[in-house]
Amino acid sequence: MPKIGMEPVRRKALIDAAISAIGEHGSLDVTMSEIAGRAGVSSALAHHYFGAKDELLLATMRHLLAELGADARRALKAARTPRARVLAVVAVNFSAAQFRAQTIAAWLAFYVEAQRSPALRRLLRVYARRLHANLMSGLTGLLPRAEAGEVAETTAALIDGFYIRQALRDGAPDAASAVRLIENYLNTKLNGCPNAP
């Protein structure tokens, strides 16, 4: 009989194993058996907690979104100026907790699968709306709303683009370079703004 309180631990282990397996394969073409083995549990237990593999994949995507959201909330709470809010959002997306090889590969796999999966597409839309809103929370204090929207959209595209480029290249993720290039873009847009210190 399983110990009380083990379910959250095992569910988290299965989600971590799913990220690891997806990262290694570079796709969602992984089996429940493989994920369960990585997590140190039986396939039957994995199915008990999540049902089908699709449910585990959705839970994994929700987990990635929840971690990113929590990191963003902490960073935004600490930011004292509108410009600091924008830079905090960029920094969070390229933090050591987020911009890891396995996580990058998982995001890319989810983007690809979202073309076929309405459930994953909905989750990616949630991510896109949150990213846009977080960027706008600083940009609207610096630029007129329409211009802020364009800068937010371009910044979000740069963030996503650096994830895609990293997923397609060999070697360790280069977060510092991505942050520097995005900050260069933001500086060209914000320099000279009366509200941008």
Q: 131 and 159 in contact (C-beta within 8 Å)?
A: yes
Name residue, tokens 């060999």: 170
Name residue, tokens 């709306």: 129
* 175 is a domain residue: yes
* 27 is a domain residue: no
Distance CA 23, CA 107 (A): 9
Q: 132 and 152 in contact (C-beta within 8 Å)?
A: yes
* 84 is a domain residue: yes
pLDDT value, residue 169: 83
Q: 49 and 14 in contact (C-beta within 8 Å)?
A: yes
* 47 is a domain residue: no
The CATH number of the domain where 118 resides is what?
Answer: 1.10.357.10
How many structural domains compose the chain? 1
* 35 is a domain residue: no
* 128 is a domain residue: yes
Return the DSSP state at 3: P
* 144 is a domain residue: yes
pLDDT in tens, the chain (197 residues): 455 578 889 999 999 999 999 988 878 889 999 999 999 999 999 999 998 888 999 999 999 999 999 999 999 999 999 999 999 999 999 999 999 989 998 999 888 889 999 999 999 999 999 999 999 999 999 999 999 999 999 999 999 999 999 988 888 889 999 999 999 999 999 986 655 55
Distance CA 193, CA 196 (A): 5
pLDDT tens digit sequence for 13-55: 999 999 999 988 878 889 999 999 999 999 999 999 998 888 9
* 25 is a domain residue: no
Q: How many CA atoms lie within 13 A of 32 on its CB side?
A: 16
Which pTM does this prediction carry?
0.88
Its domain, for residue 133, covers 60-190
